[in-house]
Amino acid sequence: MKHYLSINDLENLQEAVKEAIAIKENPHQLKTIGNQKTVCLLFFNNSLRTRLSTQKAAMNLGMQVTVMNFGSEGWQLEFEDGTIMDQGKSEHIKEAAQVVSQFADIVAIRAFAGLIDKEKDEAELVLNGFRNYASIPVVNMESSVTHPLQALADAITLEENKTKEKPKVVLSWAPHPKALPHAVANSFVEMMKLQDAEFVITHPEGYELNPKITKGCTIVHDQEKALENANFVYVKNWSSYSDYGEILSQDKKWMMTKEKLGNAKFMHCLPVRRNVVVEDAVLDSNQSLVIEQANNRTYSVQLVLKRILEKL
Amino acid sequence: MKHYLSINDLENLQEAVKEAIAIKENPHQLKTIGNQKTVCLLFFNNSLRTRLSTQKAAMNLGMQVTVMNFGSEGWQLEFEDGTIMDQGKSEHIKEAAQVVSQFADIVAIRAFAGLIDKEKDEAELVLNGFRNYASIPVVNMESSVTHPLQALADAITLEENKTKEKPKVVLSWAPHPKALPHAVANSFVEMMKLQDAEFVITHPEGYELNPKITKGCTIVHDQEKALENANFVYVKNWSSYSDYGEILSQDKKWMMTKEKLGNAKFMHCLPVRRNVVVEDAVLDSNQSLVIEQANNRTYSVQLVLKRILEKL
Amino acid sequence: MKHYLSINDLENLQEAVKEAIAIKENPHQLKTIGNQKTVCLLFFNNSLRTRLSTQKAAMNLGMQVTVMNFGSEGWQLEFEDGTIMDQGKSEHIKEAAQVVSQFADIVAIRAFAGLIDKEKDEAELVLNGFRNYASIPVVNMESSVTHPLQALADAITLEENKTKEKPKVVLSWAPHPKALPHAVANSFVEMMKLQDAEFVITHPEGYELNPKITKGCTIVHDQEKALENANFVYVKNWSSYSDYGEILSQDKKWMMTKEKLGNAKFMHCLPVRRNVVVEDAVLDSNQSLVIEQANNRTYSVQLVLKRILEKL
């Protein structure tokens, strides 16, 4: 694997999940594979799980880690070609990406959607800027449109917790006071399309995800119907894609409850707003898999770093 | 030792001090005890000594270290149970603490008093939040009410510099332009209660510390009288405890001077305001122990991490 | 070498460049020389190249690294002697420098010019504060007046790319929308004075650098004439030194173009404003050495750290 930009960069999801579970069983088995190799984590947005899990995974592989908060510790980057840079932006992505490539063997990038300009978000200026101009492999730590490390952690969690060959998995929209990006939902859908499962997406009308991503997926607007006989319920808010970045509904009826969940396992990428996205009774029950999902973030990125290191 | 939340978590202060001094003599003697173990330092407030000494100590033990400034690199946490989280707080301490526990073997927390709501400060929301919900040991890097790593460093410094079996140690309040927390003074008092020493606290009226903490201590409001024949003078400002967080006096007469100090050794936890808390002549003399106190911060936390590692 | 504050701290520039090139050929040859040694990087200003290259170099030598953004993670320092510290500054450089010396074996400092008060900038309060009060070696990661790690990287780049014994090297001022410090230009000039080269400085009138630094250098105000037969053109903006910190000109005619460059190699320390300082056609051509200059930052600081470690 050269870059890890999308869940589809894994040749075979099932094999990747198996390998990640083997790493989880013995996280230090490859403790020298990363010797004398450095991964540089560049954060254009805040982070808790991604920040700590990626450092942990890299150190498990014997790598050196450098961490930089680009916004507060660096300066604004220019992404347009041919601009006269006489305004607020001090450095062009062409230089920044090439320069970081001198100081690391792998670069990992977090850069969220701005949710104002759909076209700009979909152009993935930061992630693609690094992919285009860096001379080293690039890992996506959540971009405008995708969050494939989360999706791989989710796949590991599903594999570890499924009790039948072909479980029913429901992605259920939830209300939220802030406009949130689509990245987690998008990558979860892309990952589910690679799974042998009955997969249903449910959300209020107007909250359709990018149809190119959900193409072929079952979408049901009646949440109750969607949840029937579910084995796993993945709850997540996102803002409108058609009315880009807008909050169309904060309808509390869409909050996940113990009653609605039935016997299903509950999943969420975290951070989660209690009693807005999901009620306490769910998170505090043993049906919740959220902490194990977070734990699997380490093995998800450790698998990715390992595969990249093997090809360096 | 499971957690290190208070100086009283050390079973025997004298033995801990002896062991810390032995570590100081050969800081790298245990350089593999922390291999494949990670300590995560979470700062909810700024730090210089604690930040650098804790990293140094952890690396001396062969540990991996991750550092996160929760305020600027993460988001606001919710600490109340049962809240509807539809306001500014993005994650509940229940999740945050459990999640950090997936990525580290020990978590160390710095979270100062707000000095507005006494009850809230005394509830130690952040520290106790992590103690209650984390599944890993918690180290107090200065909480609302206590700073036990400083107190242990102070105990080491006293031991190294005492010239008689039972020295006279005075804790003397000093003026300061900003309202400061009680944590350092509280932990120093708690530590002194475990020492074989003549211990006197002196401060203007109205600056009484929490009486539960100073119970049994000699308190003298006449600074001159308190300082008579002192061997060590520990100077520190704190805001009022009864008029919680208020500055009742900036009386310059309480500043420590060379004259008042006599032949005693001067101690302060740093940072210190020169010529407000203490005059230059004291800090620039060889009676000052402040740099050695800072140095002992490394061995204080190294002892604590070592003892926790031994029980992991 | 005790400190690295100026390019003149290298006894012999040519030997230092040779040694740095040897390190570059095998960066891990000295991977244990820094074992159990810590370098603490203190940033009073933002950084990309310096931040990442210094960490990389230190880790190549087996050192431990601690990084602190003093402004956001610490507090304001006092530099004046004898002040009554009852205003915004919480700690004196005397304590800060001595304290950092307890937690590291080498301290590296970045602190830019404020460009408001020339005398204050030239006093190098931060750098000299650490040099005066720290008990450990100090490395200059760009101070108010000099940037000797950049100058050493530039010397390495010149050595690697020169095609004749005594090349013609031109330092050419360029326009910029913001007032920038003189540090890079100053250190480049100081470094060139140690080289066997034909060295010419060109800038609009009013942009004379500190005459003590350029003493003995050829200064030509006609850019076209200065660039004739150049082998290397180092382009850099700086604000006025005589009208201290002022922007006297943004004359676009001074921007470097492919046409003006001729067959010369192009150098710049980065970050660079495209189509303001230099046109795209130069940076995107193989005449540009800017990425290699950045790469050489690692070997520049690795040489410096190695030499300091050898004397510890």
Q: In this structure, are A304 and A189 located in the same domain?
A: no
Q: In this structure, are A95 and A168 located in the same domain?
A: no
Q: Of how many residues is chain B composed?
A: 312
- Closest-CA residue of B relative to C39 is B56
Give B-chain residues touching A284 at CB under 8 angstroms: 94
Token digits of residue C98: 């001595």
Q: How far is B212 from chain C (nearest CA, A)?
A: 30
Structure confidence by residue, pLDDT tens digits, A196-250: 999 999 999 999 999 999 999 999 999 999 999 999 999 999 999 999 999 999 9
**B183 Cα distance to chain centroid:** 6
Q: In this structure, are A278 and A305 located in the same domain?
A: no
Q: How confident is the model at residue C6, as a pLDDT? A: 98
Q: Quick one: average pLDDT of C254-280?
A: 98
Inter-chain contact C291–A99, Cβ cutoff 8 Å?
A: yes
Facing C86 at nearest CB: one of B28, B276, B297: B276
Structure confidence by residue, pLDDT tens digits, B247-289: 999 999 999 999 999 999 999 999 999 999 999 999 999 999 9
Structure confidence by residue, pLDDT tens digits, B75-104: 999 999 999 999 999 999 999 999 999 999
Q: Which residues of A touch B (CB under 8 A)?
A: 28, 31, 43, 46-49, 51-53, 55-56, 59-60, 69, 72, 177, 270-276, 280, 283-284, 290-291, 294-295, 297-298
Kindly list the partner chains of chain A, i.e. chains with 3 or more CB atom pairs below 8 Å: B, C
pLDDT class of C285 with cuts at 50, 70, 90:
very high
Q: What percent of chain C has pLDDT over 70?
A: 100
Exposure class string for A48-87: b at 16+ Cβ within 10 A, else e: bbbbbbbbbbbbbbbbbbbbbbbeebbbebbbeeebebbe
Q: Which residues of B touch A (CB under 8 A)?
A: 36, 38, 40, 64, 66, 68, 72-75, 78, 81-87, 90-92, 94-96, 98-100, 102-104
Q: Is C175 within any annotated ligand binding site?
A: no
Question: Which runs of consecutive H residues, i.e. helices, occur in chain A?
Answer: 13-25, 49-60, 70-73, 93-103, 118-122, 125-133, 148-161, 183-192, 211-214, 223-227, 258-261, 280-283, 290-311
> Is residue C1 situated within a structural domain?
no
Structure confidence by residue, pLDDT tens digits, C208-245: 999 999 999 999 999 999 999 999 999 999 999 999 99
Q: In this structure, are B157 and B284 located in the same domain?
A: yes
Q: In this structure, are B129 and B165 located in the same domain?
A: no
Q: How confident is the model at residue C216, as a pLDDT? A: 97
Q: How confident is the model at residue C171, as a pLDDT? A: 98
Q: How confident is the model at residue C31, as a pLDDT? A: 93
To 10 degrees, the CA torsion angle through A136, A148, A56, A42? 50
Q: What percent of chain B has pLDDT over 90?
A: 99
Q: Which residues of B are annotated as a binding site?
A: 47-50, 75, 110, 142, 147-150, 176, 236, 269-270, 273, 297
Q: In this structure, are C173 and C289 located in the same domain?
A: yes
Owning domain of residue B199:
150-293
> Is residue B2 situated within a structural domain?
no
> Is residue A249 situated within a structural domain?
yes
Give B-chain residues touching A294 at CB under 8 angstroms: 98-99, 102
Q: In this structure, are C103 and C129 located in the same domain?
A: yes
Q: In this structure, are A154 and A100 located in the same domain?
A: no
> Is residue A289 situated within a structural domain?
yes
Q: How many domains does chain C have?
A: 2
Structure confidence by residue, pLDDT tens digits, A24-37: 999 999 999 999 99
Considering only CA atoms, which of A284, A267, A255 is closest in space to residue B86?
A255
Token digits of residue C309: 């470690």
Q: In this structure, are A18 and A132 located in the same domain?
A: yes
Inter-chain contact A270–B82, Cβ cutoff 8 Å?
A: no
Task: Report the CATH number that the domain containing residue B209 is assigned in CATH.
Answer: 3.40.50.1370
pLDDT class of C156 with cuts at 50, 70, 90:
very high
Q: How confident is the model at residue C118, as a pLDDT? A: 98
Q: How far is A290 from chain B (nearest CA, A)?
A: 8
Residues 6+ apart with CB under 8 A from C211: none
Amino acid at the residue A227: L
Q: How confident is the model at residue A138, as a pLDDT? A: 98
Q: In this structure, are B40 and B142 located in the same domain?
A: yes
Question: Which runs of consecutive H residues, i.e. helices, occur in chain B?
Answer: 13-25, 49-60, 70-73, 93-103, 118-122, 125-133, 148-161, 183-192, 211-214, 223-227, 258-261, 280-283, 290-311
Q: In this structure, are B141 and B165 located in the same domain?
A: no
> Is residue A2 situated within a structural domain?
no
Facing C66 at nearest CB: one of B55, B72, B294: B55
Q: How confident is the model at residue B228, as a pLDDT? A: 98
Q: What percent of chain A has pLDDT over 70?
A: 100
pLDDT class of C124 with cuts at 50, 70, 90:
very high
> Is residue A209 situated within a structural domain?
yes
pLDDT class of A106 with cuts at 50, 70, 90:
very high
Token digits of residue B39: 């300590």
Q: In this structure, are C154 and C251 located in the same domain?
A: yes
Q: How confident is the model at residue A116, as a pLDDT? A: 98
Structure confidence by residue, pLDDT tens digits, B108-163: 999 999 999 999 999 999 999 999 999 999 999 999 999 999 999 999 999 999 99
**Tokens 């998170």 belong to residue:** A283
Q: Is C49 within any annotated ligand binding site?
A: yes
Dihedral angle sign, alpha carbons of residues B125, B131, B132, B134: positive
Q: How confident is the model at residue A168, as a pLDDT? A: 98
> Is residue B15 situated within a structural domain?
yes
> Is residue A248 situated within a structural domain?
yes
